[in-house]
Amino acid sequence: MRMLRVFESISLDGYFAGPDGDIGWAHAGREDQEFAGWVGGNASSGGELLFGRKTYQMMEAFWPTPLAAEQMPDVARGMNAATKYLASRTLRPTWQNTRLLEGDLAAAVRSLKASQGPTIAVLGSGSVVAQLDQAGLVDEYQLVIIPVVLGAGRALFPGPRRLRLVEERAFRCGNVAVTYAT
């Protein structure tokens, strides 16, 4: 069975988006070549990606552009080449290598997990993550903790959750990447 991993940037106080949905805080901060290399390695790992509508639209608006190729060539190459799945009832995919997941999301992802293939990573997509978590389909959470306190926003988990630490790595910029198994 394939693994489903959620990748999310979160604030020190546990929010993945600010009160108004803003995520700009997750990308503001000091330059760190080591962190950039880690992100690039993650993006080119050969896995598949799963997005909700909002995250898909944001990613599609940036990664296929010349600016993305100039600023982060490894990540842009990986994002554009990856097989992508879109969970949406209203949007039709236009970004290369994207397939629409139709019908019940949990059933579609359960079917994907049962098929042969690489790890599937959910990027952002808070509503999708909540549905997949509730269905017991998430195997790991890979979180990048950004050293900022938002005070309010959208929390990743709706309530208490016990997870098992698998890996951790701190970067000079203050970000800490942790992986937890469910």
Per residue in 53-82, pLDDT tens? Answer: 999 999 999 999 999 999 888 888 889 999
Res. 133: pLDDT tops 80: yes
What's 21's DSSP letter? Answer: S
DSSP lists the bridge partners of residue 52 as: 87
Dihedral sign from CA coordinates of 86, 118, 78, 6: positive
Per residue in 79-117, pLDDT tens? Answer: 999 999 999 999 999 999 999 998 999 999 999 999 999
Contact assessment for residue 138 and residue 129, using Cβ atoms and an 8 Å cutoff: yes
pLDDT at 43 (0 to 100)? 66
Res. 44: pLDDT tops 70: no
Residue 110 sits in a domain of what CATH number? 3.40.430.10
Q: Domain limits at 157?
A: 4-181
How many domains, the chain? 1
pLDDT at 39 (0 to 100)? 77
